[in-house]
């Protein structure tokens, strides 16, 4: 990790796809293959494992959680399905240790996942 930096660490998966499509458009050729955009989202921990949620729903919700610090109640009142809100908050809680192990990232959004975003790891905090 010495000298490591997360160049894409502060953008959502949807923004990564937008950036990749821009790269292809700007270059005038397919540098990033179309199959990348059509692949089912996966944490790639084991063969055949896929994320069971729709990034077009979850990605804006994550932005609301991180950048606007919306609570579960506020997200549900905004129209997000309760079960998806609960699932996303659980995933945040379970993945906090990963953020602490990650290299620093280039900050381009109002609130990055850097040292300014910390959630308790062991006290079962639910948000």
Backbone dihedral angles phi then psi of residue 115, each to the nearest 5 degrees: -65, -15
pTM of this prediction?
A: 0.69
Higher pLDDT, 105 or 27: 27
How many Cα atoms sit within 13 Å of 44 on the Cβ side?
3
Task: List, as one string, the DSSP characters of 47-80.
Answer: TT----S-HHHHHHHHHHHHTT---HHHHHHTT-
Q: Which domains does the chain have, with CATH numbers?
A: 11-52 (no CATH), 53-127 (1.10.10.1510)
Model confidence at 51: pLDDT above 80: no
* 2-44: pLDDT as tens digits: 678 888 888 888 888 999 999 999 999 999 999 988 887 776 6
């Amino acid at each position: 990790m010495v000298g490591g930096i997360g160049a894409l660490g502060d953008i959502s998966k949807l923004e990564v796809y937008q950036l990749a499509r821009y790269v292809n458009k700007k270059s005038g050729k397919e540098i990033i293959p179309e199959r990348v955009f059509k692949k089912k989202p996966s944490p790639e921990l084991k063969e055949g494992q896929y994320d069971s949620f729709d990034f077009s729903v979850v990605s804006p919700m994550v932005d609301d959680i991180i950048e606007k610090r919306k609570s579960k109640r506020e997200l549900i009142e905004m129209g997000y399905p309760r079960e998806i809100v609960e699932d996303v908050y659980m995933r945040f809680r379970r993945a906090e240790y990963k953020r602490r192990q990650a290299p620093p990232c280039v900050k381009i959004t109002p609130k990055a996942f850097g040292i300014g975003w910390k959630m308790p790891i062991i006290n079962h905090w639910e948000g």
